[in-house]
Amino acid sequence: MKSKYLLILFVVALAACKSKESKEELQVEVAPQDTVQQVVMPEPKPEEPTVEIDMGVNLDDKFFLVVDSYTVKEFAESWNKKYQKMGYNSAVIMRNEDGYYRVAVQSFNDFEMAKNALDVLRQEEDFSNAWVMVIDK
């Protein structure tokens, strides 16, 4: 009977040792965090001023992209409304010397900008005959 108790005691002791070994294997050493890394955010770049280009007609400008000319004001106004429905900020302007009502879709104070815009505008089939009108003030 003593041998049975000794056998049971031996098995329990062996099981206790195995579970202790398993616990020791699961332990992970962690090094202490004794340094702090400071991250410096870069300063934001100053915003560059944006140049807004008015895509419409300003009667105070000097160069106008003209797409139509009419002697009858009502015709010019009718076509102007059609261009506005197409998304252009067009306007009817009149050159006093010749009496024609001009329909302009854009205006500029800089000739190079007007010329570049004309080149783009002429790529559209409806505006292949557009031209730049200069009004000296």
Look at the block and give the residue holding tokens 């009004």: 135
- d(CA 25, CA 116) in angstroms, rounded, equals 76
So where are the chain's domains?
63-134
- Is the pLDDT at 115 greater than 70? The verdict is yes
Cα dihedral 54/56/62/65 (nearest 10): 120
Higher pLDDT, 14 or 66: 66
Confidence class of residue 60 from pLDDT cuts 50, 70 and 90? Answer: confident
Higher pLDDT, 39 or 91: 91
- Label residue 34 by pLDDT band (50, 70, 90): low
CATH topology (fold) of 63-134? Alpha-Beta Plaits (3.30.70)
| Residue bearing the bigger pLDDT, 75 or 28 | 75
**In 10 A of CB 26, how many CB atoms?**
7
> Tens digit of pLDDT for each residue in 79-110?
999 999 999 999 998 766 788 999 999 999 99
Q: Which residues are paired to 134 by β-bridges?
A: 63
